[in-house]
Structure 1
Amino acid sequence: MGRVRQGEGAAGALLRREARAARAHLAVPLVLGIGQVAAGIGQAWLIALLIARLLGIGEAGWNELAAAGALALLSAAIGIAQEKALIAAGEAAKTRLRNAVFARLLATGAGDQRPVGERAALVVDRIEALEGFLTRWLPAAMLAIAGPLLVAAAAFAVDATSGAILLVAGLLVPVAMAVTGIGAAQASRKQFAALDRLSGRFLDRMRGLPTLVLFRRQEAEATSLRVAADELRGRTMRVLRVAFLSSASLEALAAAAIACLAVRHGAVLGLTHPDPAGAIFTLLLVPAFFAPLRAFSQAYHERLAARGAAAELAPLLEDDGAAPGYRLEEVPKKLVVTFQDVTLRYDPARPPALDGLSFRVLPGETLVLAGPSGAGKSSVLRLLMGFRRPDAGRIAFNGQDATLLAPAELRRLTAYVGQRAHLFRGTLRENIALARPEATAAEVEAAAEAARVMDFARGLTKGLDTLVGEGGFGLSGGQAQRVAVARAFLRDAPLVLLDEPTAHLDPGTEAEVLESIRRLCAGRTAIIASHSRLAQRTLGRVLEIEGGRAVGARMAGE
Structure 2
Amino acid sequence: MSQPLPAEAARARALLSATARDGRRRMARPVLLGLASIACGLAQAWFMARLLTGLLGHGEAAWSDLAAAGALALLAIGLGVAQERAQADAGAAARAGLRRRAFARLLALGPSDTRPAGERATLVVDRIEALDGYFARWLPAAVLAALGPLLIALVVAFEDPLSGVILLAAGGLVPVGMAVTGIGAAMASRRQFDALQALSGRFLDRMRGLPQIVLFGRQESEAQALGAAAEELRGRTMKVLRVAFLSGLNLEVIAAAVLGCLAWRHGNLLVGGHPNPQAALFCLLMVPGFFAPLRAFSAAYHERMSAQGAAAALAPLLQDEAVPEAGLQLAEMPPSVVVTFEQVGLTYDPARGPALADLSFRVLPGEALVLAGPSGSGKSSVLRLLMGFNRPDQGRIALNGRDATSLKPSELRRLSAYVGQKAHLFRDTIRANIALARPEASEAEILAAARAARVTDFTDALPEGLDTLVGEGGYGLSGGQAQRVAMARAFLRNAPLVLLDEPTAHLDPGTEADVLESLRRLCAGRTAIIATHSPALRARFSRVLEMEGGRATPARLAGE
Both structures adopt the same fold (TM-score exceeding 0.5)? yes
Would you say the 8 A contact 2:182–2:305 is kept in 1?
A: no
Larger mean Cα displacement after TM superposition, 187-196 or 123-132:
187-196
* CA positional deviation for 1:425: 1.5
Task: State the secondary structure of the residue aligned to 1:10.
Answer: helix
For 1:16 and 1:156, how far apart are their aligned partners in 2?
35
Larger mean Cα displacement after TM superposition, 467-476 or 345-354:
345-354
Would you say the 8 A contact 1:126–1:313 is kept in 2?
A: yes
Does residue 330 (structure 1) correspond to residue 332 (structure 2)? The answer is yes
Would you say the 8 A contact 1:447–1:489 is kept in 2?
A: yes
Map Cα deviations across residues 118-164 of structure 1 (whole Å, 9 max, x no partner). Answer: 10111011111222111111111121122212322331232222122
For 2:458 and 2:88, how far apart are their aligned partners in 1?
47
Aligned residue for 1:370? 372
Equivalenced residue count is: 556
1:349 to 348, 351, 370: 351
Aligned residue for 2:453? 451
The residue identity in structure 2 corresponding to 1:11 is A
Larger mean Cα displacement after TM superposition, 307-316 or 436-445:
436-445
Does residue 527 (structure 1) correspond to residue 529 (structure 2)? The answer is yes
Alpha-carbon distance change, 325 to 4 in structure 1, aligned in 2, over 3 angstroms: farther
The residue identity in structure 1 corresponding to 2:392 is P
The residue identity in structure 2 corresponding to 1:108 is L
Would you say the 8 A contact 1:343–1:352 is kept in 2?
A: yes
Does residue 392 (structure 1) correspond to residue 394 (structure 2)? The answer is yes
* CA positional deviation for 1:77: 2.5
For 1:353 and 1:545, how far apart are their aligned partners in 2?
11
For 1:310 and 1:262, how far apart are their aligned partners in 2?
45
* CA positional deviation for 1:61: 4.5
For 2:397 and 2:427, how far apart are their aligned partners in 1?
37
* CA positional deviation for 1:516: 1.7
Would you say the 8 A contact 1:541–1:553 is kept in 2?
A: no
For 1:467 and 1:233, how far apart are their aligned partners in 2?
39
For 2:19 and 2:153, how far apart are their aligned partners in 1?
31
Aligned residue for 1:16? 17
Aligned residue for 2:249? 248
Would you say the 8 A contact 1:121–1:199 is kept in 2?
A: yes
The residue identity in structure 1 corresponding to 2:451 is E
The residue identity in structure 2 corresponding to 1:259 is G
What does 1:65-80 align with in structure 2 at a 5 Å threshold?
Answer: 65-80=66-81
Task: State the secondary structure of the residue aligned to 2:244.
Answer: helix
For 2:309 and 2:544, how far apart are their aligned partners in 1?
51
2:514 to 507, 512, 515: 512
Q: Which runs of 5+ in 2 are unaligned?
A: none
Aligned residue for 1:193? 194
* CA positional deviation for 1:29: 1.8
The residue identity in structure 2 corresponding to 1:442 is A
* CA positional deviation for 1:183: 4.8
Aligned residue for 1:147? 148
Aligned residue for 2:28? 27
Aligned residue for 2:549? 547
Alpha-carbon distance change, 110 to 321 in structure 1, aligned in 2, over 3 angstroms: farther
For 2:238 and 2:390, how far apart are their aligned partners in 1?
41
Aligned residue for 1:432? 434
Task: State the secondary structure of the residue aligned to 1:342.
Answer: strand
Task: State the secondary structure of the residue aligned to 2:352.
Answer: coil
For 2:173 and 2:69, how far apart are their aligned partners in 1?
31
Task: State the secondary structure of the residue aligned to 2:544.
Answer: strand
Would you say the 8 A contact 2:503–2:532 is kept in 1?
A: yes
For 1:281 and 1:359, how far apart are their aligned partners in 2?
88
For 2:479 and 2:42, how far apart are their aligned partners in 1?
69
The residue identity in structure 2 corresponding to 1:330 is E
For 1:463 and 1:208, how far apart are their aligned partners in 2?
32
Would you say the 8 A contact 2:269–2:277 is kept in 1?
A: no
Larger mean Cα displacement after TM superposition, 221-230 or 500-509:
221-230
Map Cα deviations across residues 365-400 of structure 1 (whole Å, 9 max, x no partner). Answer: 111122233332222222222223334333222233
For 1:555 and 1:548, how far apart are their aligned partners in 2?
17
For 2:418 and 2:226, how far apart are their aligned partners in 1?
36
The residue identity in structure 2 corresponding to 1:173 is V
Aligned residue for 1:419? 421
Map Cα deviations across residues 148-204 of structure 1 (whole Å, 9 max, x no partner). Answer: 123223312322221222122112222221222235334433332222222112211
For 1:203 and 1:476, how far apart are their aligned partners in 2?
23
Aligned residue for 1:237? 238
Aligned residue for 1:460? 462
What does 1:245-394 align with in structure 2 at a 5 Å threshold?
Answer: 245-266=246-267, 271-319=272-320, 320=322, 322-394=324-396
Q: What TM-score, normalized by structure 2, do the two folds share?
A: 0.92
Larger mean Cα displacement after TM superposition, 46-55 or 376-385:
46-55
What does 1:3-152 align with in structure 2 at a 5 Å threshold?
Answer: 4-152=5-153
The residue identity in structure 1 corresponding to 2:31 is L
Task: State the secondary structure of the residue aligned to 1:181.
Answer: helix
For 1:376 and 1:194, how far apart are their aligned partners in 2?
35
* CA positional deviation for 1:49: 3.3
* CA positional deviation for 1:554: 6.1
Alpha-carbon distance change, 10 to 330 in structure 1, aligned in 2, over 3 angstroms: farther
Larger mean Cα displacement after TM superposition, 168-177 or 543-552:
543-552
Would you say the 8 A contact 2:196–2:233 is kept in 1?
A: yes
Map Cα deviations across residues 390-439 of structure 1 (whole Å, 9 max, x no partner). Answer: 34333222233323433222222221111111111222222122112232
For 1:213 and 1:347, how far apart are their aligned partners in 2?
33
Q: What TM-score, normalized by structure 1, do the two folds share?
A: 0.92
Does residue 224 (structure 1) correspond to residue 213 (structure 2)? The answer is no
Alpha-carbon distance change, 540 to 285 in structure 1, aligned in 2, over 3 angstroms: farther
The residue identity in structure 2 corresponding to 1:237 is M
